[in-house]
Amino acid sequence: MDNWTPLSNQEYDRIWSRIYRDIKFKPSMSIFPSFQLPTPFISYDISEYLIDSRDLDAGSTEFSVDLDAYDNLEEKALDAFKELTLVGECMLALNWKHECYWVNPRLEFVKNEFGEWTIPIFPNGDYYFFIEKDFKWGYLGHPWEKSITVFGKELINAFDKHKPRKFHTILRQG
């Protein structure tokens, strides 16, 4: 069974309208934060996940992701999502301006040719969001701020319990 069920056009429109309205989502490459969340929330600096490729290859100015830390982030996020969802329950996996999905954290998260989920856990050039179907909690990845924001008391507590290795620098909280 494929775990990534595309949203219908109506679901897509309804969900993104709610994101723009309820969390005041305003995509930006330079003005941060790009959303206003209900409290509680915590925004983590994820720049520590990035490796300066100049350290690995003289002359390169690109960045790549620390794969061990990335795998740890996937594992811990899934643990947190499983803790908060019922058996058979799906959550939203959203990629801004691209196809979005319903996904069950208890089913297999098949990886693509780049070793990532269909919607990656790490915002590597786009906004990636994982949100509970009623917006009680969520995980929002911001590629240009290099941040991941976790909102909702339940998800914050689950991430405290299943803390990714590099979730220790807090940008802001509320």
- pLDDT tens for residues 44-67? 999 888 765 444 444 444 457 788
Cα–Cα distance measured from residue 98 to residue 137, given in angstroms and rounded to the nearest whole number: 22
Residue 51 has what pLDDT? 67
Cα–Cα distance measured from residue 81 to residue 14, given in angstroms and rounded to the nearest whole number: 23
Taking residues 109-137, report their average pLDDT. Answer: 91
Cα–Cα distance measured from residue 158 to residue 163, given in angstroms and rounded to the nearest whole number: 8
Res 158 pLDDT > 60: yes
Mean pLDDT (the chain) is: 88
Three-class SS of residue 6? Answer: strand
Residue 41 has, within 13 A of its CA and on its CB side, a CA count of 22
Residue 2 has what pLDDT? 78
- pTM of the model as a whole: 0.89
Taking the alpha carbons at both ends of the chain, their separation in whole angstroms is 39
Q: H helices of the chain, where?
A: 9-22, 67-84, 153-161
Residue 62 has what pLDDT? 47
> How many residues belong to the chain?
174
Res 149 pLDDT > 90: yes
β-strand partners of 63? 52
Cα–Cα distance measured from residue 93 to residue 7, given in angstroms and rounded to the nearest whole number: 9
